[in-house]
Amino acid sequence: MEFILNSIRKIDNDQVKEHAFGTEQSLEEKLAICFINSKDFEKLNLVSSLHLKISNKEKHVIVKVKKDDNVPEGTVVMPVSIWSNRLSLVQNNELLYKNIVVNVEATREPIMKFKEIIQELLVK
Amino acid sequence: MKRFTCSGCSLLCGDIIVQSDGIFITEVIGACLKGKERFDQVNAKNRITSPLIRKNGKLIEVSWDEAMNSVVEIIKKSNKPLLYGFSNVTCEAQEAGIKLAGKINGFIDSNASICQGKFLNKAKSLGINFTTITEVINKGDLIILWGANPAETIPRLLNKLLFSRGKFRMTGREIKTLVIIDPVKTASFRVMGVRDLALMIEPDKDIELIRMLKEECCSADSIPSEGVAGMDQNDLKRLLLHLTGAENGVIILGQGVIQPHSDYDLVEELLDLLQLINERQEKGRISLMLLGGHFNMAGFDHVALSAYGVSGHLEFGGNQLIKTKDDFVSKIEKDNFDCSIIVGSDPISHLPHSLSSKMAKKPLILIDNHNTATSQIAEVVLPTAITGIESGGLAYRLDQVPIELNKIINPPNNLPSDEELLNQLYGLLNQGGSK
């Protein structure tokens, strides 16, 4: 299903906070996450044990999903992080962090680990 | 107990009370969640307190001499070093960074260039006014958050702007109107009262709102009855009345408005609208304020401007400032760099994957005080003291006001400040001769 991805700063899911805790587990707990409207949650046949696979022409990412009715229908919100930035784009020499067209689908695959993303970057 | 300025975000609150014996901080009073997190970083599990070098794929603790020599070797092999970050350091460290860039013929830029920098430069060129926090407290009667969510990014900003009583605003909140324009109902919406206006705009429809407001400014009653971009006609009429009738209004812009578009420039269109409104204003004016997350996001431009008369990025060749068509993004996109020196920033987390993957493929030197995604790919990591807690210096608040930060306790292992470390590096390179 096609959605619009907005990556935003959320104080409870902020990198700075996680740096204060300082573990990979806490980073994954707070940042490998997305928020969608409860109506979209139903449309995607999601249950709490499923994750969301979000993809665009660049990459894909698998993250936990939570209901949040402050998010409009058709929009998926992610805290700014190494997870959301797998999907952010460079457009006309500028960085696009919001209003990114993505495809979303429910998945049983595990969430993408911090180490997994780093390993991918380290492949020279 | 003493009062200190918090370096948790770019608001630089000066009313934080800290109890300390000079070695440990025992109590912090008055800090918001972000400020508290800044203080928590002193003893965080991922704090780096010794220099690290990557050996066989793993970061290993080494002596300062070995780490500094390794950095000098990387720099000496480099022809096109890229220096980036500098928003979480003092102006003195920014100045030292620029001096180092001149020494090694590098390209230097700050995080502001991918955040508020472009907007700031365009606004300056058009002559749009920026306002200060003090002015909004004392005179402001309209606060518009456009694509900005200070409740979660600069937590105490609304306390100061909206709820404070000022010299000409003795009734405080009662006389100040808050308007929020955002596609997501963010935490900032929770402070809204009956006199305020919440405008839930459809995603990526800001341009429709701006163009309609411009049209309405020129010919009344051009707002269609069905509204614009998901917003009600009456709400839009109220918005225009606020904009044209405010005595002292401020529009606070967040990343939501600074996003690029292929067929129009939203920033320019918004600045045009502001000019139009200010021309129509009979008794007041509308000004701008930009939100930057890092505590000295605004500082780099001031330092670059005072050192070289140029705001934004600088490039050096033959140890002289040279003209460049590149910016930070194009440098990485075109692979026009061969090593990077990152200071107080985490670009591997913050940049799109297409750019961070290019950065990860070149030698990277990190100067920072804690582990991040960037430290995971760095060749050398040089730890420094936490500014505003373990070292002091000057920083520019988000409204471009300079504020002094003070040292509260000594850093662990006598870690140098960012400024000291950059100057040491400059000294070492000087001993080895100019490139």
B306-365 pLDDT tens trace: 999 988 899 999 999 999 988 999 999 999 999 999 999 999 999 999 999 999 999 999
Among B82-96, B114-128, B176-190, name the one with the lowest average pLDDT: B114-128
Tell me which of B33, B36, B37, B326 to substitute to probe the interface with A (most A C-beta atoms closer than 10 Å).
B37
- With an 8 Å Cβ cutoff, are A72 and B352 in contact? no
- Per-residue pLDDT band for A20 (boundaries 50, 70, 90) equals low
**Token pair of A29 as six digits:** 């707990």
Q: Which residues contact B236 (CB under 8 A, 6 or more apart)?
A: B199, B209, B212, B213, B216, B223, B227, B228
Residue B259 and residue A96: Cβ atoms within 8 Å? Answer: yes
B335 and chain A: CB distance < 8 Å anywhere? no
The set of residues, in sequence order, having a beta carbon less than 8 Å from that of A119 and lying 6+ positions away, is none
Touching check for B112 and chain A: CB below 8 Å? no
Helix (H, G, I), strand (E, B) or coil at B413: helix
Using a CB-CB cut-off of 8 Å, the residues of chain A touching B264 are none
Mean pLDDT across B288-293: 88
Place of tokens 């480099």: B78
- For residue B180, pLDDT over 60 is answered with yes
**Helices B117-126 and B266-280, axial angle in degrees (round to 10):** 40
Preferred mutation among A14, A15, A18, A19 to probe B, highest tally of B CBs within 10 A: A19
Predicted confidence at residue B279, as pLDDT, reads 86
Q: Which of B114, B346, B366, B399 is nearest to A15 (CA)?
A: B346
pLDDT(B134) > 90: yes
Predicted pLDDT at B434:
43
For residue A18 the two structure tokens come to 């996680």
Determine the pLDDT at residue A106.
97
Query: How large a percentage of chain B has pLDDT more than 90?
Result: 72
Choose among B181, B139, B172: nearest CA to B287.
B139
Give the span between the Cα atoms of B147 and B145, in whole angstroms: 6
Residue A22: per-residue pLDDT: 63
* Interface check A70 vs B, CB under 8 A: yes
**What one-character DSSP code corresponds to residue B47?**
B
Q: Quick check: B120 pLDDT over 60?
A: yes
Q: Domain limits at A27? A: 2-122
Residue in chain B lying closest to A100 (CA): B204
DSSP A72: P
pLDDT of the residue at A16: 53
Task: Give me the residue from B260, B360, B370 closest to A19, CB to CB.
Answer: B370
Mean pLDDT taken over chain B: 92
- Hey, which residues does A102 pair with through a beta bridge? A3
User: Does B34 contact A14 at a Cβ distance shorter than 8 Å?
Assistant: yes
Tell me the average pLDDT of chain A: 90
Quote the pLDDT of residue A19.
59
What is the domain-level CATH number for residue A107? 2.40.40.20
Which positions 192-211 of B are in contact with A (Cβ < 8 Å)?
200, 202-204
User: How many residues are recorded in chain B?
Assistant: 435
Q: In the block, which residue shows the tokens 């701006």?
A: B210
The model's pLDDT over B214-242, given as tens digits with 9 standing for 90+, comes to 887 766 677 888 889 999 999 999 998 89
Partners of A87 on chain B (C-beta within 8 Å) are 353
Q: Over the range A79-91, which residues count as b (16 or more CB within 10 Å of their CB) and which as e?
A: bbbbbbbbbbbbe
Which of residues 36 through 55 in chain A touch B, CB cutoff 8 A? none
Print burial letters for A43-58: b (CB count within 10 Å at least 16), e (below 16).
Answer: ebebeeebbbbbebeb
- Model confidence band, residue B115 (pLDDT cutoffs 50, 70, 90): confident
Residue B46: what pLDDT? 87
Share of chain A above pLDDT 70, in %: 93
Q: B418-431 vs B64-77: helix axis angle to the nearest 10? A: 60
Neighboring chain A residues of B48 at a CB cutoff of 8 Å: none
Residue-wise pLDDT tens digits, A44-75: 999 989 999 999 988 999 999 999 999 999 99
pLDDT in tens, B42-53: 988 889 999 999
| pLDDT (mean) for A40-45 | 96
Chain A residues whose CB is inside 8 A of the B186 CB are: 8, 70
Q: Output the furthest CA–CA distance in chain B (Å, rounded).
A: 73
Most B-contacting residue of A90, A96, A100, A114 (CB-CB within 10 A), to test interface: A90
**Mean pLDDT value of segment B30-37:** 91
Answer whether A6 sits within 8 Å of B377, measured CB to CB. Answer: no
Across the interface, of B184, B349, B353, the residue whose CB is closest to A77 is: B184
Strand residues in chain A grouped as ranges (E): 2-8, 33-36, 51-55, 60-67, 75-79, 89-91, 94-96, 100-107
Per-residue pLDDT at B433 exceeds 70 = no
Give the torsion through C-alpha atoms of B316, B317, B323, B327, to 10 deg: -50
Mutate to test the interface with A, among B353, B359, B364 (most CBs of A within 10 A): B353
pTM above 0.80, yes or no: yes
Q: Nearest Cα to B7, choosing from B87, B124, B92, B95?
A: B87
Q: Which pLDDT score, from 0 to 100, does residue A123 have?
A: 77
Beta-carbon contacts below 8 Å between A and B: 146
How high is the ipTM of this complex? 0.94
Smallest Cα distance from B98 to chain A, Å: 24
Q: Are A96 and B352 an interchain contact pair (Cβ–Cβ within 8 Å)?
A: yes
CA neighbor of B201 nearest in space, from B225, B231, B226:
B231
> Going from the N-terminus, what domains does chain B have, and what CATH number goes with each?
48-110+296-393+406-431 (3.40.50.740), 117-290 (3.40.228.10)
Q: How confident is the model at residue A124 (pLDDT cuts 50, 70, 90)?
A: low
Contacts of B111 in chain A (CB under 8 A): none
- The structure tokens 């000098």 sit at B72
* Structure token pair of residue A22: 């300082």
State how far the Cα of B184 lies from the Cα of B203, in Å rounded to an integer.
8
Task: Please state the separation of Cα A63 from the chain's center in Å.
Answer: 6
Q: What is the pLDDT of residue B268?
A: 87
Residues with Cβ < 8 Å from B312, sequence gap 6 or more?
Answer: B109, B112, B113, B117, B121, B301, B304, B327
Q: Inter-chain contact B44–A22, Cβ cutoff 8 Å?
A: yes
| Number of compact structural domains in chain A | 1
Q: Is A85 on the interface with B (CB under 8 A)?
A: yes
| Nearest residue, CB atoms, B204 vs list A77, A99, A121 | A99
Q: Does B350 contact chain A (CB < 8 Å)?
A: yes
Q: How far apart are the first and last CA of chain B?
A: 49
CA–CA separation, B34 vs B172, rounded Å?
25
Across the interface, whether the CB atoms of B333 and A93 are under 8 A apart is answered yes
Q: What pLDDT, on the 0 to 100 scale, is given for residue B219? A: 67
Q: Which of residues 220-259 of B touch A (CB under 8 A)?
A: 255-256, 259
Confidence bin at B187 (pLDDT 50/70/90): very high
Map residue B95 onto helix, strand or coil. helix
Amino acid, single-letter form, for residue B332 = I
Residue B405 has pLDDT above 60, yes or no: yes
Q: How far apart are CA B327 and CA A30, in angstroms?
A: 32
Count other C-beta atoms under 10 Å from residue B171's C-beta. Answer: 9
